[in-house]
Structure 1
Amino acid sequence: MRSRKFDETVKSNLFLAVVPERETALQAVEIGRRISAEHGLSRNVRPHQLMHVSLNGVGAYPHLPEDVVFTACEAMSNVRAMPFEVTFDRVMSFANGYARPLVLAGGVRSEEMMDLHVQLAKEMWSAGLTFSYNPRFKPHMTLLYDEASVPERELAEPVRWMVREFVLIHSLVGRGEYEYLGRWPLLG
Structure 2
Amino acid sequence: MINMKKLSALVLLAIASATLLSCSKDDPVPELDQEVITDVSLTFTEVDGNDGVIGTAMEYNASSDEGIGLGGNVVIDDIDGLEAGKRYLVEITAFNGIANEDVTEEIEEEGDHHQFFFVGSAFLGENGFLEYMYDDEDEDGNPIGLRGYITVDENAGSTTGMLNLVLRHDLDKDFEGANNPSWENFVQAGGESDLDIDFDVIL
TM-score, scaled relative to structure 2? 0.26
TM-score, scaled relative to structure 1? 0.27
Higher relative contact order, structure no. (Cα contacts within 8 Å, ≥ 6 residues apart):
1
> More helix by proportion, 1 or 2?
1
